[in-house]
């Protein structure tokens, strides 16, 4: 019975989550990305290996028992420790993202507002805690170790010691406020689409049940469990269908949804800084998809340079270097390389469920990092894979598989200046995982196997 309940709730979560994800993606632009005219202590602990089946759409529910096992190569790095970011005395102060300064220290952005920046050394010792007046969604540094933080519709600048130097409205926040009418139209349309989905999904689920029964006169225990799961989901949809027919949304309910959508659109997925500019990835002010904004170091002259990016789970990662900006467009399973004006230079990557050179699961790569030599590191949520590519997209090797709680989520990564350490965030467990390079002999062997 315990196995059945686990299966059912996993099935329901995957089904509803992926269906909603696909519904929003179908409304997004299906073309190539466009250029816009574009005592708290850090301690080391050991984690546990977790795994989970990976599916994407409603049709993939039938593949839960047939998913092929991917042969994971030996990596160049191995997991050596975990930096615990949270505090038992303040469980609400959870990590949102992190970055690395020039000294190799980690700056963890925590809290839902007002927040904190917790500074750890490479070994996980807490060095400083800086208070910030916003909920920090994104953080990064420039070559002078100036710290830039985005959140609550604001951008703030801190000096290398955490002193607040500047606060301004984020450029996309103004766009969200100016388009409140269009957001309301979008909310109303979403409510209608949601109601229609209840109607269309019931016969689809019934067909899946009928197909299973016709295929096998004698059902296996696993097939019986799947049918019970489908029937339970179908009952939920019938209940919601009946409810939406009986009651239309009130103006107050629509207002609440508009407010919630505006709040989501104010969130910044990521930011990156070079010697002259700031790049911000966030949801489009209207419609679906993601955009990249560019500002100067004073947060002025904001301009959209990339539109029409497709992402899942509220995540779109942008990182920059002297060669331009790199975006992990997770719903298209690729990395996009643009110049500073948003002109697409190259994109690379593919969906790959049977190997590691491409990107697996429903939406990867979720995050990117750029090494000192210009190489691009990618991180995959759900799978825990970290890989290395050239800026042109050539696969250079498998860094390792992190012991990560599965799920579609931000898995920020940072690479030490010499590449000997790679850090990856696990939001669920509120910590940062440390991967260290193996001895030279092991690394050479690993490259041959990869």
DSSP assignment of 346-386 equals EEE--B-SS-SSSB-SSS---EEEE-TTS-EEEE-TTT-EE
Residue 21 pLDDT grade (very low, low, confident, very high; cuts 50, 70, 90): very low
Give every CB contact of residue 38 below 8 A, 6+ residues apart in sequence: 292, 304, 305, 306, 307, 338, 341, 342, 343
Q: Write the CATH number for 413.
A: 2.120.10.30
Strand order in the sheet with 344-348: 317-321, 324-329, 334-338, 344-348
pTM of the predicted model as reported, rounded to 2 decimal places: 0.76
d(CA 45, CA 414): 19
Asked whether residue 71 is domain-assigned, the answer is no
**287 and 433: one domain?**
yes
36 belongs to a structural domain:
no
In a domain, 385, yes or no: yes
pLDDT of residue 68: 62
What is the domain count for the chain? 2
Measured CA to CA, the distance from residue 399 to residue 384 in angstroms comes to: 11
Average pLDDT (298-327) is 96
| Last-in-domain residue among 225, 250, 275 | 250
State whether 199 and 238 are in the same domain. Answer: yes
Q: Which of 34-38, 66-70, 268-272, 394-398 has the lowest mean pLDDT?
A: 34-38
What pLDDT, on the 0 to 100 scale, is given for residue 177?
86
In a domain, 48, yes or no: no
Task: Give the residue, 434 or 29, on which the prediction is more confident.
Answer: 434
Low-confidence winner among 7-11, 74-78, 252-256, 398-402 (lowest mean pLDDT):
7-11
- 202-211, 221-230, 426-435, range with greatest mean pLDDT: 426-435
Q: Which domain holds residue 191?
A: 2-30+179-250
pLDDT of the residue at 316: 97
Determine the Cα–Cα distance for residues 125 and 121; give it in Å rounded to an integer: 5
Find out whether 233 and 280 touch, Cβ atoms under 8 Å. Answer: no
Mean pLDDT of 184-195: 79
Q: What is the mean pLDDT of the chain?
A: 83
- Tell me whether residue 64 is in a domain: no
Mean pLDDT over residues 273-277, rounded? 95
The pLDDT score that the predictor gives to residue 426 is: 96
* Sheet hosting strand 303-309, strand order edge to edge: 34-35, 303-309, 290-296, 277-283, 268-273
Pick the more confident residue, 7 or 203. 203
Which three-class secondary structure state does DSSP give residue 399? strand
Per-residue model confidence (pLDDT) at position 143 = 94
Tell me the C-alpha distance between 327 and 33, whole Å: 11
251 pLDDT tier (thresholds 50, 70, 90): confident
Whether residues 407 and 331 share a domain: the answer is yes
Higher per-residue pLDDT: 307 or 34: 307
Looking at the structure, tell me whether residues 199 and 173 fall in a common domain: no
Q: At what angle do helices 171-178 and 251-266 cross, to 10 degrees?
A: 160
Q: Do 385 and 300 fall within a single domain?
A: yes
Q: What is the mean pLDDT of residues 292-296?
A: 98
Task: Let me know whether 356 and 411 are in one domain.
Answer: yes
Do 171 and 187 share a domain, yes or no? no
- The residues, ordered by sequence, that sit 6+ positions from 285 with a Cβ below 8 Å of its Cβ are 172, 175, 176, 178, 179, 265, 291
Mean pLDDT of 237-249: 77
Structure letter (DSSP) for residue 63: G
Give Cα separations from 178 to 25, 76, 137 (angstroms): 24, 49, 22
324 part of a folded domain: yes
Confidence bin at 57 (pLDDT 50/70/90): very low
How far is residue 362's CA from residue 56's CA, in Å, rounded to a whole number?
Answer: 5
Residues 73-79: what's their mean pLDDT?
A: 94
Judge whether 329 lies within some domain. Answer: yes
Of 220, 250, 280, at which residue does a domain stop?
250
pLDDT tens column, 84-106: 998 766 777 899 999 999 999 99
> Among residues of the chain, what percentage have pLDDT more than 70?
82
Question: Are 394 and 305 in the same domain?
Answer: yes
308 and 288 housed in the same domain: yes
- Looking at the structure, tell me whether residues 393 and 286 fall in a common domain: yes
What is the pLDDT confidence band of residue 257, given thresholds at 50, 70 and 90?
confident
Whether 148 maps to a domain, the answer reads yes
Whether 150 and 183 share a structural domain: no
d(CA 289, CA 374) in angstroms, rounded, equals 28
434: buried, middle or exposed (CB in 10 Å: 19+, 13-18, 0-12)? Answer: buried
11: enclosing H helix or E strand = helix 2-27
Last residue of a domain, one of 207, 223, 250: 250
Domain match, 171 and 183 both: no
């Amino acid at each position: 019975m315990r196995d059945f309940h686990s299966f059912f709730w996993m099935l329901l979560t995957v089904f509803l989550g992926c269906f909603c994800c696909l519904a929003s993606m179908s409304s997004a632009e299906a073309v190539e990305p466009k250029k816009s005219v574009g005592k708290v202590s850090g301690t080391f602990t050991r984690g546990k290996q977790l795994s989970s089946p990976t599916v994407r759409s409603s049709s993939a529910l039938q593949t839960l028992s047939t998913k092929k096992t991917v042969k994971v190569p030996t990596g160049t790095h191995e997991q050596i420790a975990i930096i615990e970011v949270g505090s038992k005395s303040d469980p609400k102060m959870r990590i949102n993202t992190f970055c690395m300064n020039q000294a190799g220290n980690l700056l963890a952005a925590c809290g839902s507002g007002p927040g904190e920046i917790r500074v750890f050394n490479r070994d996980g010792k807490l060095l400083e805690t800086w208070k910030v007046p916003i909920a920090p969604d994104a953080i990064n540094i420039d070559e002078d170790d100036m710290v830039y933080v985005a959140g609550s519709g604001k951008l703030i600048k801190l000096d290398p010691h955490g002193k607040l130097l500047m606060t301004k409205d984020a450029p996309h926040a103004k766009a969200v406020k100016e388009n409140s009418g269009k957001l309301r139209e979008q909310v109303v349309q979403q409510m209608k689409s949601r109601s229609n989905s209840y109607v269309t999904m019931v016969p689809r689920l019934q067909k899946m049940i009928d197909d299973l029964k016709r295929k096998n006169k004698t059902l296996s225990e696993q097939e019986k469990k799947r049918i019970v799961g489908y029937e339970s989901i179908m009952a939920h949809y019938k209940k919601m269908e009946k409810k939406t027919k009986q009651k239309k949304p009130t103006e107050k309910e629509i207002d609440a949804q508009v407010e919630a959508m505006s709040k989501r659109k104010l969130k910044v997925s990521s930011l990156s800084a070079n010697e002259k500019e700031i790049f911000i990835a966030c949801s489009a002010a209207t419609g679906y998809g993601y955009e990249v904004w560019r500002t100067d170091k004073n947060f002025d002259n904001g301009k959209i340079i990339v539109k029409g990016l497709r992402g899942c789970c509220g995540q779109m990662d942008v990182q920059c270097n002297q060669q331009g900006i790199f975006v992990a467009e997770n719903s298209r399973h690729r990395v996009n390389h643009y110049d500073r004006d948003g002109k697409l230079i190259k994109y690379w990557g593919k969906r790959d469920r049977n190997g590691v050179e491409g990107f697996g699961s429903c939406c990867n790569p979720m995050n990117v990092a750029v090494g000192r030599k210009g190489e691009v590191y990618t991180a995959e949520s759900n799978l825990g894979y970290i890989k290395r590519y050239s800026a042109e997209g050539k696969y250079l090797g498998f860094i390792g598989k992190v012991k990560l709680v599965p799920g579609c989520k931000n898995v920020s990564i940072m690479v030490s200046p010499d590449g000997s350490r790679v850090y990856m965030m696990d939001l669920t467990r509120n910590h940062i995982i440390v991967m260290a390079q193996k001895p030279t002999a092991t690394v050479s062997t690993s490259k041959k196997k990869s």
